[in-house]
Structure 1
């Protein structure tokens, strides 16, 4: 297993950042390589990704969700093996730190080499930067799921 930890500070209230993060089907708007996400149940998502021509599909199960604090998941089916958590930290009335911790298991030689070269870390950092741009430019979330898991 390989680990990635990245964070970004966004200029929106913690509730806005959290609410946007619960809109999984919107992830392709700011996550490079994510073609589509289908929310199949309140806690199950189906992902279709394409990175450097390698198309993959997998299901991820939300294992913990606490409004305005954290969303944790693990893959349960498909070609990708990972688990992670995104936490939200109130830095002020309109400033939030979003932290990502990801554990992933590279599959095959290409994934292992990409991991050793820091591709996953750069991807995570870029995705968080694009999330910052996305949510700050909007100033409001596309929706919200405030359920607790």
Structure 2
């Protein structure tokens, strides 16, 4: 298994970052290669990804969730083997650090090659940066987060 750890500081309140992250079906808006995420129930999601011309489908289960603090998951079946956790750390009333750690097992030739070249690390970092941009642009478009969401 390979481990990836990345983090990003987002200029939004903790509650806003956490709430957006729980909108799993919006992941394709900031996660490269994610074509769709369908929430099956409170703990299960079905994913469809396309990376390097390889399409994969798999299900995940949320194994631990503490509001405004963390979400941990693992794959259940399909072509992907991974587990991970995303945590949210309040920096101040309007800034949050988002940390992600993923432990995964590359299964195919494309995945093993990508892992060996550090592409998975770059993809996770890119996804976090796109999440930051998505959240901050959304906050600017809606007149900012201050006053709309009470700090946790």
Equivalents in 1 of 2:116, 2:123: separation in Å? 13
Equivalents in 2 of 1:126, 1:100: separation in Å? 12
The equivalent of 1:107 in structure 2 is 107
The alpha carbon displacement at 1:110 in A equals 2.4
The equivalent of 2:134 in structure 1 is 134
Does residue 57 (structure 1) correspond to residue 57 (structure 2)? The answer is: yes
The alpha carbon displacement at 1:134 in A equals 0.3
The equivalent of 2:42 in structure 1 is 42
Secondary structure, counterpart of 2:46 in structure 1: strand
Secondary structure, counterpart of 1:12 in structure 2: coil
Provide TM-score, normalisation by structure 2. Answer: 0.91
- Contact 2:3/2:102 (8 A) holds in 1: yes
Give me the CA root mean square deviation.
1.1
The alpha carbon displacement at 1:112 in A equals 1.2
Equivalents in 1 of 2:108, 2:48: separation in Å? 19
Gaps (5+ residues) in structure 1?
Answer: 142-149
Per-residue CA deviation, residues 67-113 of structure 1 (Å, 9 max, x unaligned), is 00000000001000000000000000000000000000001332111
Provide TM-score, normalisation by structure 1. Answer: 0.92
The alpha carbon displacement at 1:25 in A equals 0.0
Which consecutive segments of 4 or more residues in structure 1 shift more than 2 A?
none
Equivalents in 2 of 1:50, 1:93: separation in Å? 37
Gaps (5+ residues) in structure 2?
Answer: 146-152
Aligned residues: 141
The equivalent of 1:80 in structure 2 is 80
Decide which structure has the larger Cα Rg and report it.
Answer: 2
The equivalent of 1:30 in structure 2 is 30
Secondary structure, counterpart of 1:68 in structure 2: coil
Equivalents in 2 of 1:39, 1:113: separation in Å? 30
